[in-house]
């Protein structure tokens, strides 16, 4: 399922990134690699999409978050 449908407060595991090499490299640099645990901090229809990964908060655009596949 895409990261964008995960409710705030839930923890999920990153399975894959369904994007080109450029975005995959960008997300890898942020620590978003397969197997990493992600906590969704904020997911509203407006405003930023905020996640926590390895103790860091990361703000993503909704388009980026849609390409992140989690379980």
pLDDT value for 8: 96
Q: Does domain 3-70 have CATH number 2.30.110.20?
A: no
pLDDT value for 46: 80
Rounded distance, CA 6 to CA 51, Å?
11
pLDDT, tens digit, 9 for 90 and up, residues 11-70: 999 999 999 999 999 999 999 999 999 999 999 878 789 999 999 999 999 999 999 999
DSSP 46: S
pLDDT value for 47: 79
pLDDT value for 28: 95
| pTM as predicted | 0.92
pLDDT value for 48: 85
Query: In sequence order, which residues have a C-beta less than 8 Å from that of residue 4 and are 6 or more positions away?
Result: 43, 49, 62, 65, 66
């Amino acid at each position: 399922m895409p990261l964008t449908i995960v409710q705030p407060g839930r923890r999920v595991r990153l399975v894959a990134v369904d994007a080109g090499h450029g975005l995959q490299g960008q997300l890898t640099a942020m620590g978003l690699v397969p197997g990493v645990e992600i906590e969704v901090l904020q997911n509203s229809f407006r405003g930023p999409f905020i996640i926590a990964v390895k103790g860091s908060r990361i703000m993503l655009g909704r388009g980026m978050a849609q390409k992140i596949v989690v379980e």
